[in-house]
């Protein structure tokens, strides 16, 4: 697991907001851009960081790219936090 990358990705409020959106349903990049008051290239940058950290996955569907939350990495993070808390 890329734990450092995941924590760096989670450090940004916009990226956390994107994860919250994807928790509800899979979205295209355009649908994600519509939810924010920032540029498309900025959202693309945030999506790339989330993807590199393994927190989201993308799948090309025709002319669109659909983004999905990757709960496997989130489960690994939670497991690590629980172990850390148990000493």
Q: What string of pLDDT tens digits covers the 87 residues of the chain?
A: 477 888 899 999 999 999 999 999 999 999 999 999 999 999 999 999 999 999 999 999 899 999 999 988 888 888 888 988 886
Identify the sign of the CA torsion 43, 49, 54, 59.
positive
> pTM of the predicted model, to two decimals?
0.88
Q: How many domains does the chain have?
A: 1
Q: How many residues make up the chain in this entry?
A: 87
- The CATH number of the domain holding residue 40 is 1.10.10.10
Domain that holds residue 29: 3-86
């Amino acid at each position: 697991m890329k734990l450092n990358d995941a924590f760096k990705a989670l450090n940004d409020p916009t990226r956390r907001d994107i994860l919250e959106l994807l928790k509800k349903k899979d979205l295209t990049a355009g649908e994600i851009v519509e939810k924010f008051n920032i540029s498309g290239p900025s959202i693309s940058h945030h999506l790339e960081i989330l993807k590199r950290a393994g927190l989201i996955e993308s799948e090309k569907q025709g002319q669109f790219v659909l983004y999905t939350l990757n709960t496997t990495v989130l489960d690994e993070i939670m497991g690590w936090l629980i172990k850390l808390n148990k000493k």
